[in-house]
Amino acid sequence: MRVFLDFEASSLAKRSYPIEVAWVFADGRAESHLIRPPPEWTDWDEEAEAIHGLARTLLEQEGEPHDQVAARMVEELSGHDLFASAPSWDAKWLNALLRTAGYPKHRLRLRKTSEMIAQDVSALLGDGLEPEDHRQAVERILADIDKARPKVPAHRALPDAQAERGRWLAARQGAEALLAGSSSSRA
């Protein structure tokens, strides 16, 4: 099953680490976890905190131990197709979490949501359109969902993961509506 995943992090520096993770399955089931940093994770950026609103003291007091979050992710997400809006950043934090908890860094792998959405729309449209019309229809649907995307993400893991799932659902609806319109015009 497809799963949309998002992390919030201590900063965007080389030594940054995950502080929150959330995922949303295609069927809408979701989880969100604040991550208590282990002692060796010391990077912190006040500007990043101002964006996501998560203080390190909050993570230390209310966050779940990093190894428990990693174990939960492996348990819940293994065998599923994982997608993120920015997989290079999210994979960095996923790998840091997994490695620190003793898992191989590529135990879970992320792919780019936008690429999957384009492939999904193309597959839904099928062979019913001429190649140039097909390409233009995919581009139009993707542009429409990008216009509807919030200009500024929530910068919290669960709303951002839910937004990615919403983009996917909107793209599918756009493709289905286009197909329904083209089949009714042929009738």
Q: What domains, with CATH codes, occur in the chain?
A: 2-112 (3.30.420.10), 113-186 (no CATH)
187 band by pLDDT with thresholds 50, 70 and 90: very low
Q: Which residue has the tokens 């998560």?
A: 54
Please list the alpha-helical segments (H only) found in 17-65: 46-52, 56-62
Q: In what order do the strands lie in the sheet with 30-36?
A: 64-65, 30-36, 18-25, 2-9, 81-84, 110-112
* pLDDT above 90 (res 123): yes
Cα–Cα distance between 116 and 41 in angstroms, integer? Answer: 33
Looking at residue 145, its pLDDT comes to: 86
Helix, strand and coil content of the chain, in percent to the nearest 5, comes to: 55, 15, 30
Looking at residue 146, its pLDDT comes to: 83
Looking at residue 64, its pLDDT comes to: 98
The pTM of this model reads 0.91
